[in-house]
A = this chain, B = another copy of it.
């Protein structure tokens, strides 16, 4: 079995960079498909397909207005993602000490990993 269907999982849907861009673009206010196409510089069919995926997962909502369709990010659907990531917040402090320790061990910091 290959990867989980992109249409059933928020994580997989968000794995695509273009879809992330779309979500960011549609978060402040609803936008036309054409607007998205122009903003992202992508092909229209491609955008429509991505929007379908996002809509199937519930990450965006659509509203028809005449000839145009206005899409808008459903930010609530992103909470599972945020919540999952937030679980690790608990361990950040714990591991921060390690990072700090390493940083202090190498004071001339510029030469990280070129």
* Residues of chain A at the chain B interface (Cβ within 8 Å): 3-4, 9, 11-12, 14-17, 20, 23-24, 27-28, 73-76, 78-79, 81-82, 84-89, 91-92, 95-96, 99
Contacts and interface: CB of A to CB of B under 8 A. Distances in A.
Nearest to A24: B87
A11 B4 contact: no
A23 to B, nearest CB: 8
A46 B70 CA distance: 43
B17 A4 contact: yes
A82 B75 contact: no
Given A4-B15, A4-B16, A4-B17, A95 B82 contact: no
B15 A88 contact: no
